[in-house]
Structure 1
Amino acid sequence: MTWIKKNKWMTALIMAFIIAAGVFLTFILNKESAVASINNETITKDELYETLVKQYGSDTVDQMINDKIVEAEAEKKDITVSTKTVTSEIDKLKEQYGGEDAFNQALVDSGTTLTALKSDIKNYLLIKKLLEPEIKITEDEMKTYFEENKDSFATAEQVKASHILVADEATAKKVKEKLDNGEDFAALAKEYSTDDSTKDSGGELGYFAKGDMVTEFEDAAFAMSVNQISDPVKTDYGYHIIKVEDKKAAQAANYEDSKAEIKETLFDQKVDSEYQTWLDGKKKNYDIENTLSSEA
């Protein structure tokens, strides 16, 4: 079962990988001449450097130059992004990816690090602040976007639930008996659940709509009342004991309620489309040379 959802920041992981490659280049220059050997034949740092420079060097330096310009322009305007703000964005990512374990795995799969991602997020937030005075969003644009994407602003019926996942029916019945005898759901989740992404938070899954979970699980959850605890529910993942904590009724799309989200979406779109023009204009004020740009 997966509750992982994608977020705009994960596109930053790809660029962060390129930047990390540049950091790696610097690191290897400080190592001994031979970085590896095969049957006593060495691979030198110079050979490794040349290979990595050909693959990543020019793009990495270009990105580093762009980042330096953003930092310099932000400093001119006394614009900053706090560590707390970056941490908040990281926390949102962790939540949307289904917890810290899933988030960390996404970092590994993307070949990057938390430090590189934080740097990328900080840079993007600086860009947003720098471009904000130049970006205008009209009411007509917002209304048009709402009408064209109305379905995305409607809210489906949702259930907030926790679960305890175990491997076999006998264990599931044992856990259910303990619950019937008044034992604490969260404590039993920590003790028995095999779902490592939720057990430490008492099995909490948050809110979910139909289609987010496997059929057997969501059929049971949506049929239950608030505060009700299910009998064991079998899925391909094992046996679940489900506790429904809250429900939200479906809501039709409402423009006034969606204005803030629409404005943020349109703003992000305009930042993405106007950033390169802004950057090209700022580059005229700097003496820039990328000695790797001509290497094949």
Structure 2
Amino acid sequence: MTKKANFKWIISILLLLVVFITYVFLYPPVSKGESIAKVNGISIAKEQLYNAVMEADGKKALQNLIDQELIQQEAQKAGVHVEQTEIDSALESTKGQFSTEDEFNQALDNYGMTLASLKQNLQTQLTIEKILEPQVTVTDDEIKKYYDENLETLKTPEQVKASHILVATKEEAEAILQELKNGGDFSAIAQEKSLDTATKSQGGDLNYFAKGEMEEPFETAAFKLEIGALSDVIQSTNGFHIIKVADHKQAYTPTLEEKKEEIRKTVTKEKISTLATSWLEEKKSGASIENYLTS
């Protein structure tokens, strides 16, 4: 039972630049005719794979490399440098949008990304932001407009912080519940017996979640529990759960002043995203670029 993933971070990163370079593009065939596979005794040469990848993705990959090089040259001219600590901070912020490490890694897999390519995208994004930020101005009127138009998304909904133990049968869940009532350690039992691989290593911790993020029976039980209390056995499509609530936050509506700087940063990033494409095209049009794969 996991929270619904938020993929906005993927969209914002890929909006600026997608870096995709295949192994065979970086490392061309070592020898003509070298076999990499056979079908009914007939060899497929490594050269065939290289040519196929080059035809499908080579030009795109090279264009991305050209863009990367041009961005780095512009960064040097502007005296812009992205520190490793800034990349690490952006990575942690991205990871923070997911309830578990497994959920984050699954999102990478779903989008065909690796941790290394994500870090490269973050570095590129931060570099462009630093170059273009001096060109962007955000007024108080724009901040007020954003606050008014996005107030619902700025509100913090009612949330609970809960852990759970998931098992396959009601009988096993009832036995575990009795063990917990007799003083058993919830975290230790979750690590030992829970079937939820995404949370068992954290003792079943689901972190905070709002209404609408979990299945209805699970959610209803969690929001009714007092802090520290155990639920009865709850059935969902995943199996049978025992829930323990660690914290409960009431819904909250922030003031404009409380959100002012956060909104300023958000609007600044939006303006930079809009400006980035035309800026890069302008820099390419003024650069001397020789692309030998265009023919």
Please report the TM-score for the alignment, with normalisation by the length of structure 2. 0.90
Instruction: Tell me the number of residue pairs that the alignment of Structure 1 and Structure 2 aligns.
Output: 293
C-alpha distance after superposition, 1:138-187 (max 9, x if no partner) = 11111111111221112221111111111112221222222212222211
* CA spacing shift, 1:29–1:114, aligned 2, 3 Å: farther
**Secondary structure of the residue that 2:247 maps to in structure 1?**
strand
Is 1:52 matched up with 2:50?
no
Gaps of 5+ in 1: none
* CA spacing shift, 1:272–1:16, aligned 2, 3 Å: closer
Is 1:246 matched up with 2:247?
yes
Q: Which residue of 1 aligns with 2:196?
A: 195
Alignment of 1:104-253 (within 5 A): 104-253=105-254
Contact 2:24 2:50 in 1 (8 A): no
Contact 1:161 1:204 in 2 (8 A): yes
Q: Give 1:106 shift.
A: 2.5
The 2-side partners of 1:16 and 1:170 are apart by 52
**Secondary structure of the residue that 1:163 maps to in structure 2?**
strand
Q: Which moved more, 1:89-98 or 1:8-17?
A: 8-17
Q: Give 1:236 shift.
A: 1.3
Alignment of 1:260-271 (within 5 A): 260-271=261-272
CA RMSD of aligned residues (A): 2.3
Q: Which residue of 1 aligns with 2:10?
A: 10
Contact 2:161 2:206 in 1 (8 A): yes
The 2-side partners of 1:34 and 1:112 are apart by 28
* CA spacing shift, 1:262–1:68, aligned 2, 3 Å: same
* Letter of the structure 1 residue corresponding to residue 43 of structure 2: T
Q: Give 1:284 shift.
A: 4.8
The 1-side partners of 2:121 and 2:31 are apart by 27
* CA spacing shift, 1:71–1:18, aligned 2, 3 Å: closer
Q: Which residue of 2 aligns with 1:89?
A: 90
* CA spacing shift, 1:237–1:16, aligned 2, 3 Å: farther
**Secondary structure of the residue that 2:110 maps to in structure 1?**
helix
Contact 1:4 1:96 in 2 (8 A): no
**Secondary structure of the residue that 2:20 maps to in structure 1?**
helix
Q: Give 1:253 shift.
A: 4.7
Q: Which residue of 2 aligns with 1:27?
A: 27
The 2-side partners of 1:203 and 1:58 are apart by 46
Identity over aligned residues, as a percent?
38
